[in-house]
Structure 1
Amino acid sequence: MLLLGVLTLLSLQALPVKTDFQDETITEFSVNLYHQLQSAGNEENIIYSPLSIAVALGMVELGARGSTLKEIRQVMGYGHLKGGDEFLLLKNLTQSLIVDESQYVVKLANSLFLQNGVHFNENFVHMMKKYFHAEIETVDFSQSAAVADRINKWVENQTENKIHDLVSADDFSSVSRLALINGVYFRGNWKNQFRPEHTRTFSFTKDDGNEVQTLMMYQQGDFYYGEFSDGTSEAGGVYQVLEMPYEGEEMSMMIVLPRQEVPLATLEPIIKAQLIEEWASAVKKQKVEVYLPRFKIEQKIDLKESLQDLGVKKMFTKDADLSAMTDGTDLFIGKAVQKAYLEVTEEGAEAAAASGMIALTRTLILYPQVMADHPFFFVIRNRKTGTVLFMGRVMNPEVIDANVHDFDAL
């Protein structure tokens, strides 16, 4: 089962008053942000939702004008669109993703928390409801602890209790005026589920050469698979791409795995939006042996720093022009943060129904084998539209103490 919860927070503060949204566009933004996060140079896991950030920025864009608006549109890649068309495209995109059925669940929710007594532009509020179906609540930001508690409870409710403590009392003060909260939650059942009795303790080799013990899932099944090379040594030669659909086959997880001896950092520079589309078009359905670790990732990202590095700068300064939100008050973005949660396990919400036992000790490989016992890149995407909901990497899976349980007896 895959469980994902993510929230994006954009918190607006006041300064003293002075005396077709294209699916390839969000993929491009996704990759640009990934490279910015990856460039930090650490060996940490990454998990974030570019869709959530795009929606949150869209809510800010509704109230932006001048160079502040121009920066957002440029970084998001909206230059080829007529001004304002991105709001309708974002609306159509999010509506097409929202489902609640037995195969998988995608939930998107937006909320505006407004300061009591401050007059916000009625057209801005109307457009927020029209394009983003935002819930509107009024609060007193000077009561920072109460506001943080209220927002965190809303977050927990929208993410099936997976995201906790998105904000704290320190995030708000008497100069806070508006908090824009966007939540995305995804839960999917593998179309071909892993059987728990096939899971074994396995060594996972990190890029620094150290090994950790993790629980490795296994199955032989029909998946979309391909082997690729950029024709140079930059990516370490041939690498594997595995696309594993969820029930209904509309959503999938795409895993990109370099060779065992090749660090993921060698492969990461070649990742581009166009290449992701090429992978999706080129993989073919065939029988594959899959070894995939159970893993759990939770990450909080300072979007203020990341977005500034990408070119969205002015909305975080006193020079921000957010004049379409409210009259008579100079606003700027005081805080921007995203918190995401990802868990991958053998089963979905119901018991697995797969049949047949394949021993882990087979020496004759009859089918392509994907052995994810070293770092890999992944994308959670809609296979019909190409929309990227989540993107990240696993550098270190959930570590277990092999002495605590006798996993070989499972």
Structure 2
Amino acid sequence: MVPPLLLLLSVWLPGDSCRAADIPEDITAEFSVRLYQRLQARGDQDNIIFSPLSVAVALGMVELGARGDTLEEIRQAVGFSQLVPGVEFSLLQNLTTALSEDDAQYVVRFANSLYLQQGVSFSPEFVHLMKKYFRAQVETVDFNQSAVVAQHINHWVENHTESKIRELLSPDDFSSLTRLTLVNAVYFRGSWKNQFRPENTRTFSFSRDDGSEVQTLMMYQQGDFSYGEFSDGSQEAGGVYQVLEIPYEGEDMSMMIILPRQEVPLATLEPIIKGPLLEEWANNVKRQKVEVYLPKFKVEQRTDLKDVLQELGVKNIFSNNADLSGMTDGKDLYISKAVQKAYLEVTEEGAEGAAGSGMIALTRNLVLYPQVMADHPFFFVIRNRQTGSILFMGRVMTPEVVEPIEDFDSI
């Protein structure tokens, strides 16, 4: 049998910022959207959270050791085929380095680790390039001791995600055939530029697309935001939908929220989302005074990327046809598993653990300005405004649920 390679990704996003150098714009937007749409097809009523940039980085690490058709599949799927071969490694290095620069306004960390089976010969050039482009920590382990290795890697992931990503791996993920494991962890913490005041947070009904309602904590603020109303012109997206951009401290990073009309299911809007449309939204929202109602929410997801990537054309790396000969002397490696685990929490100030105020019924006031009422499912993107690189993408179908208080007069 062919020895497998294990590819793992973990992401934490506790809330809500980043600065980029003069680097080329990210070209993986379409790849990001295609990933999202494959995940969307798997669960009609599920929340989604994942990091497209993290997936691109992990595939970049594999690409360093890929050759022939295996290499071309990765380049084609991610969007690198339009680049001179090899340029993508510097692009990914520049994107992640720029986002990871020290800045008191936010914390972004990319951490890459490479675990090699002891006693197996790996290409020194591959290990060198992993360290050069991805700053990878390289360790030798014995995958035969699966429980010990799983605990060791899980501990590494926890340390790089402030303990938000736990139990990424189990002993069952390894076997005597495992030769190499790649782990990519992304950690993001920041604050909104304009924070929501906790005393304005109230309970509110959130209408799910299946017709049910849940009670959730709704944040509120009125302020100047980049806002626009868009339509695809064919009514396929249910007519006009809203796009709101909320900047993080420092303004280089933002969360973009895309909200269909109240009566329009998010599934009606999702098919029109394309890479160029993300840029169109960013370029055409205009700064104006807006009333924003946004639920506090947590989304967490473990995604098996193997099937998703195969559907996007990355097939060879998961089969006996894999040519990863840039990693070892022989063509005897393939990837057995590709996993990402992501977590996002959005609160009033963006930091974890913000307390909401008493649960008091929220009523709509007289509308004087455009109003974004996210009391039904919405799509979101967290992106760098300078490069367009998408750190995180997802949707909220069900926010945090709170027990309703029946007697509001008693509060």
TM-fit CA distance, 1:91: 0.7
Aligned to 1:313: 315
Q: Are 1:373 and 2:379 an aligned pair?
A: no
Among all aligned residue pairs of Structure 1 and Structure 2, give the percentage whose two residues are the same amino acid: 70
Name the amino acid aligned to 1:57.
L
TM-fit CA distance, 1:67: 0.8
Aligned to 1:142: 144
Aligned to 1:13: none
Aligned to 2:366: 364
TM-fit CA distance, 1:160: 1.0
Q: Report the Cα distance in structure 1 between the residues aligned to 2:104 and 2:256, rounded to whole angstroms.
A: 21
Name the amino acid aligned to 2:334.
F
Which residue of 48, 51, 62 maps to 1:49?
51
Q: Report the Cα distance in structure 2 between the residues aligned to 1:349 and 1:210, rounded to whole angstroms.
A: 30
The one-character-per-residue Cα deviations of 1:37-64 (angstroms, maximum 9, x if unpaired) are 1122521000000000000000000000
Q: Secondary structure at the match of 1:378?
A: strand
Q: Report the Cα distance in structure 2 between the residues aligned to 1:308 and 1:281, rounded to whole angstroms.
A: 33
Q: Provide closer, same or farther for how the CA distance between residues 271 and 336 of structure 1 changes in structure 2, counting only shifts above 3 A.
A: same
Aligned to 1:78: 80
What is the correspondence of 1:270-349 to structure 2 with a 5 Å cutoff?
270-328=272-330, 330-349=332-351
The one-character-per-residue Cα deviations of 1:169-228 (angstroms, maximum 9, x if unpaired) are 000011101100001111110011011111111100000110011111111111110011
Q: Provide closer, same or farther for how the CA distance between residues 178 and 408 of structure 1 changes in structure 2, counting only shifts above 3 A.
A: farther
Q: Report the Cα distance in structure 2 between the residues aligned to 1:408 and 1:189, rounded to whole angstroms.
A: 34
What is the correspondence of 1:229-240 to structure 2 with a 5 Å cutoff?
229-240=231-242
Aligned to 1:14: none
Q: Secondary structure at the match of 2:45?
A: coil
Q: Report the Cα distance in structure 1 between the residues aligned to 2:345 and 2:275, rounded to whole angstroms.
A: 25
**TM-score normalised over the length of structure 1:** 0.91
Q: Secondary structure at the match of 2:333?
A: strand
Q: Secondary structure at the match of 2:342?
A: strand
Name the amino acid aligned to 1:64.
A
Q: Are 1:393 and 2:364 an aligned pair?
A: no
Q: Report the Cα distance in structure 2 between the residues aligned to 1:202 and 1:42, rounded to whole angstroms.
A: 23
Q: Are 1:93 and 2:76 an aligned pair?
A: no
Name the amino acid aligned to 1:320.
A
TM-fit CA distance, 1:362: 5.3
Q: Are 1:67 and 2:69 an aligned pair?
A: yes
What is the correspondence of 1:249-264 to structure 2 with a 5 Å cutoff?
249-264=251-266
| Preserved CA contact (<8 Å) 2:242 2:372 | yes
Name the amino acid aligned to 2:55.
I
Name the amino acid aligned to 2:188.
F
Q: Report the Cα distance in structure 2 between the residues aligned to 1:211 and 1:22, rounded to whole angstroms.
A: 44
Q: Provide closer, same or farther for how the CA distance between residues 405 and 7 of structure 1 changes in structure 2, counting only shifts above 3 A.
A: farther
Q: Report the Cα distance in structure 1 between the residues aligned to 2:350 and 2:216, rounded to whole angstroms.
A: 20
Q: Provide closer, same or farther for how the CA distance between residues 405 and 90 of structure 1 changes in structure 2, counting only shifts above 3 A.
A: farther
Q: Report the Cα distance in structure 2 between the residues aligned to 1:321 and 1:254, rounded to whole angstroms.
A: 39
Q: Alignment length, in residue pairs?
A: 388
Q: Report the Cα distance in structure 1 between the residues aligned to 2:108 and 2:260, rounded to whole angstroms.
A: 30
TM-fit CA distance, 1:154: 0.4
Please report the RMSD computed on the Cα atoms of aligned residues, expressed in angstroms: 2.2
Q: Secondary structure at the match of 2:335?
A: strand
The one-character-per-residue Cα deviations of 1:26-83 (angstroms, maximum 9, x if unpaired) are 1111001111111225210000000000000000000000111111011011111111
Name the amino acid aligned to 1:160.
E
Q: Are 1:383 and 2:382 an aligned pair?
A: no
Q: Secondary structure at the match of 1:176?
A: coil
Q: Provide closer, same or farther for how the CA distance between residues 121 and 360 of structure 1 changes in structure 2, counting only shifts above 3 A.
A: same
| Preserved CA contact (<8 Å) 1:21 1:87 | no
Aligned to 1:39: 41
Aligned to 1:174: 176
TM-fit CA distance, 1:100: 3.6
Q: Report the Cα distance in structure 2 between the residues aligned to 1:147 and 1:79, rounded to whole angstroms.
A: 36
| Preserved CA contact (<8 Å) 1:21 1:90 | no
Which residue of 166, 177, 184 maps to 2:186?
184
Aligned to 1:243: 245
Q: Report the Cα distance in structure 2 between the residues aligned to 1:89 and 1:393, rounded to whole angstroms.
A: 28
| Preserved CA contact (<8 Å) 2:323 2:331 | no
Q: Report the Cα distance in structure 2 between the residues aligned to 1:363 and 1:289, rounded to whole angstroms.
A: 10
Q: Secondary structure at the match of 2:108?
A: strand
What is the correspondence of 1:347-358 to structure 2 with a 5 Å cutoff?
347-349=349-351
Name the amino acid aligned to 2:280.
E
TM-fit CA distance, 1:292: 0.4
| Preserved CA contact (<8 Å) 2:322 2:331 | no
Name the amino acid aligned to 1:134.
A
TM-fit CA distance, 1:365: 1.0
Name the amino acid aligned to 1:236.
G
**TM-score normalised over the length of structure 2:** 0.90
TM-fit CA distance, 1:364: 2.0
> Where does the alignment leave 5 or more consecutive residues of structure 1 unmatched?
1-5, 10-19, 353-358
Q: Provide closer, same or farther for how the CA distance between residues 43 and 172 of structure 1 changes in structure 2, counting only shifts above 3 A.
A: same
The one-character-per-residue Cα deviations of 1:281-305 (angstroms, maximum 9, x if unpaired) are 1011111100000000110001101
Q: Report the Cα distance in structure 1 between the residues aligned to 2:407 and 2:314, rounded to whole angstroms.
A: 49
> Where does the alignment leave 5 or more consecutive residues of structure 2 unmatched?
1-7, 12-21, 355-360
Name the amino acid aligned to 1:254.
M
| Preserved CA contact (<8 Å) 2:257 2:380 | yes
Q: Report the Cα distance in structure 2 between the residues aligned to 1:240 and 1:120, rounded to whole angstroms.
A: 51
Q: Report the Cα distance in structure 2 between the residues aligned to 1:201 and 1:378, rounded to whole angstroms.
A: 22
